[in-house]
Amino acid sequence: MSADRTVKSNAKRLFRASLVDGRLSESRVAAILKALDGDPPPRYEATLRHYLRLVRAEAARHHAVVEHAGAFSPETEKTLVQTLSQRYGRPISIEARPNSDLIAGLRIRVDCDLIDASLSGRLESLAAATASTH
């Protein structure tokens, strides 16, 4: 097995050990990092980089960044968590960020998906559609 394949294989093994019931466990990740620091494997830095990429990708699958214009109430947050969790079939946590450039509405990013339900997004789409017809 080549060195690169060994690094990826080791990182995947570490990643699988970081999961509890199919979910990433912060305590497991911390324990794995501590153990690796005490007894580093061959190609330690490359293994850690690949492991970090896997951990970040998994964390992004369960996290939404919600940009909003105006107030964002706890009721809205609760409804959004339920809706997104149901839509994706997995628990989703959210991070709310105010963005006055949206004018009104929400822009939601979950992993690679972008849901733009903002007034500025609709205006941009309209402007692009109008520009392409002229």
> How would residue 3 be classed by pLDDT, with cut points 50, 70 and 90?
low
Whole-number pLDDT of residue 18: 93
Q: What is the mean pLDDT of residues 51-62?
A: 91
The burial of 64, by beta-carbon neighbours within 10 Å (0-12 exposed, 13-18 middle, 19 or more buried), is given as buried
Whole-number pLDDT of residue 49: 93
Q: Considering 60, 82, 109, which residue would you say is the last residue of a domain?
A: 60
Residues 120 and 72 in one domain: yes
Q: Considering 20, 36, 60, which residue would you say is the last residue of a domain?
A: 60
Contact yes or no for 69/104 (Cβ under 8 A): yes
Contact yes or no for 92/109 (Cβ under 8 A): no
Containing structural domain, residue 37: 3-60
**pLDDT of 133 higher than 60:** yes
Q: Considering 30, 45, 60, which residue would you say is the last residue of a domain?
A: 60
Residues 68 and 55 in one domain: no
Whole-number pLDDT of residue 124: 79
Total domains in the fold of the chain: 2
Residues 73 and 126 in one domain: yes
pLDDT single digits (tens) 72-105? 889 989 999 999 999 999 899 999 999 888 888 8
Of 96, 21, 86, 24, which is closest to residue 60 (Cα–Cα)? 24
